[in-house]
Structure 1
Amino acid sequence: MPTPKPIAGDHLDAITLPKVGGGTVTLGGMRDNWSLLVVYRGKHCGRCKKYLKILNEMRDKWYDAGFDIAVVSADPLDKAQADRDAFDWQFDLGYDLSEAHMAALGVYVSEPLTAAETDRRFAEPGVFVVRPDGSLLLISISNGPSARPELEELLDGMIFTIENERPPRGTA
């Protein structure tokens, strides 16, 4: 039986992962700021690089709107570090996302097509907006690399939501 997907308004319990560069990154749980959480497929995914390039270029806009940013994958440290070095990502980058974490987030999980792609099961894309109280405001999960929310539109919508104190939608 498949794991149930999270629903907007659900509380996201804190998930702590190791962070490239040292320390940890915490997803969910209570915090001072809103959070943008992006789950990416890993080093093998060219579409992820394009998406994260846009996010990296927009990061100051997200920070100015009151958001923390965390980007995570199931990749081990060496692959996550290689991506950070190659693309100069300046957001918190977590690694070693486990299958239990993937289930908690409700993201789809795929088997690698070849050993050249990766050596482990990995998460398909997910984008989550988490309120400071740890509740999920927005959940966007995809079963493949081609469908993700457009980041400018998402930020515009989140600014409107915060300014107008909008509740989570799609809760039923």
Structure 2
Amino acid sequence: MTQLTPLFPRQQVPALSVDTVGGGSWSLADAKPENFTLIVVYRGLHCPICGMYLKDLDRKLADFKERGVEVIALSSDDADRARQSREDWKLENLTLGYGLTLDKAREWGLYISSGRGKTSVGIEEPKLFVEPGLFLVRPNGELYFASIQTMPFARPDFAAILKALDFVLANNYPGRGEIVDHLAQAAE
């Protein structure tokens, strides 16, 4: 399995492409947002918190589009589980990708968990699955913001992200956390 490595703001993110519910595929290389691409990685059909989180995102899609942000949510689920997620969670507008490989998830710095049986909603966890992550990527493929988690709880709030985007866009605020080698930077 690919080694877990951090991504740094202002640097290129790895390539990313997935199939989407309803047919077709999505690729970061083909994304043409005005300002950012928002990539939301969710745990999968088995996660009731993911359902509530993505439903909130689905309701706010127009707000993101208004700010020039293209949005996709994706998981390591297969096509059937992703389709069921769309139906069960009543996601009306959100582009839902599936089939994120565990190796690709590692390239993006995401954590992987092992299944532990049925969840509180009675759905079996996959043998292995990806934990949540949220990424804002500039149109040129540079990482702007990332939130990577080991648990399904306490995810970034979409209303707060929208508010932050207003500030970022109004002030041309740069991506932060860009220092890769702090010792070399301190020596300069």
Kept after mapping to 2: 8 A contact 1:28/1:130 = no
Q: For residues 22-48 of structure 1, what are the alpha-carbon distances to aligned partners after superposition, in whole Å with 9 as ceiling and x for unaligned?
A: 111123676343111100000000111
1:151 aligns with 2:158: yes
- Deviation of 1:124 after TM superposition, in Å, equals 0.5
AA aligned opposite 1:84: R
Residue in structure 1 matched with residue 46 of structure 2 by the alignment = 44
Q: Does 1:9 align with 2:37?
A: no
- Normalising by structure 1, report the TM-score: 0.93
Distance between the aligned counterparts of 2:131 and 2:76, measured in 1? 10
Residue in 1 aligned with 2:182? none
**Would the aligned equivalents of 1:27 and 1:70 in 2 still touch at CA under 8 Å?**
no
Percent of matched pairs sharing the same residue? 32
Contact 1:12 1:29 in 2 (8 A): no
Q: Runs in 1 of length 4+ with deviation above 4 angstroms?
A: none
TM-score, normalization by structure 2: 0.85
Structure 2 unmatched ranges of 5 or more: 180-188
Secondary structure of 2:116's aligned partner: coil
Q: CA deviation at 1:86?
A: 2.0
Structure possessing the higher radius of gyration over alpha carbons: 2
Q: How does 1:125-164 map to 2 (within 5 A)?
A: 125-164=132-171
The match for 1:107 is: 110
Provide the residue aligned with 1:95 in structure 2. 98
8 Å Cα contact 1:14-1:29 kept in structure 2: no
1:55 aligns with 2:62: no
